[in-house]
Amino acid sequence: MKVVCLDMEGVLTPEIWIHVARRTQIQELNLTTRDVKDYRELMERRIVICHKHGVTLEKIQGYISELEVFPGAREFLDWIRERYQLVILSDTFYEFAGHFMRLLGRPTLLAHNISFNAETEKLEFFLRQENAKAKAVQALRSLNLRVLAAGDSYNDIHMLKEAHTASFFRAPANIREQFPEYGNLQEYSELQDFIAQNL
């Protein structure tokens, strides 16, 4: 009756928008939730930038398909799934994450939706709900599940707070310093030990 909640980008996979920025050579797309706390604001900025440069959903999906998950991520998830339940809580979009979910053996993912409006030539995103990661942890707790959470970004803080036990994983220094109550693990083997000892 234990569930592990993991962020996706930065924990299991590379940051999608960083890769899109690299491939399109659009410097402005390098911002992530590590830099801008308000996710809706961040996405709105990205959409304006994509529109300006003709970046469609199809193009982004093409760039994503070039990426691999982090080395050891699949094995790490398989280890979790043999012992506990697993839910990936991500502020990415199902339309982006499909490639990674295939590589990771299709764990359960709670994310958002995005589409491309051919008339306006703009991306349109639909957030499932505000503060979605924290709400998901609350919902899991309402089912009498014990929840362990790990993430690396500002948008993970409320998820970490709602969980019974939590840790940062590969979080950048500025976030770690703001929230020193969470440890910061670097390797899957360390996170595995943390889970085994705390969940």
Point out the residues that are catalytic. Answer: 7, 9
Give the C-alpha separation, 152 to 12, whole Å: 11
Report the residue number, 72 or 183, with the smaller CB distance to a copy of itself: 72
Compare residues 42 and 88 and give the one whose CB is closer to a copy of itself. Answer: 88
State which residue, 19 or 99, has the beta carbon closest to a copy of itself. Answer: 99
Residue 19: CB minimum distance to a copy of itself, A: 23
Min. distance of Cβ 54 from a copy of itself in angstroms?
28
**Least distance to a copy of itself from the beta carbon of 38, Å?**
19
CA nearest 26: which of 57, 59, 49?
49
User: CA-to-CA distance for 197 and 161, rounded, in angstroms?
Assistant: 19
- Within the chain, strands assigned E span 2-6, 85-93, 108-117, 122-126, 146-151, 165-169, 184-185
Q: Interface with a copy of itself by CB under 8 A: which residues?
A: 1, 78, 81-82, 85-87, 94, 105-110, 112-113, 128-129, 132, 135-136, 139-140, 142-145
DSSP state of 13: B
Q: Would you say 113 and 93 are in contact if contact means Cβ atoms under 8 Å apart?
A: yes
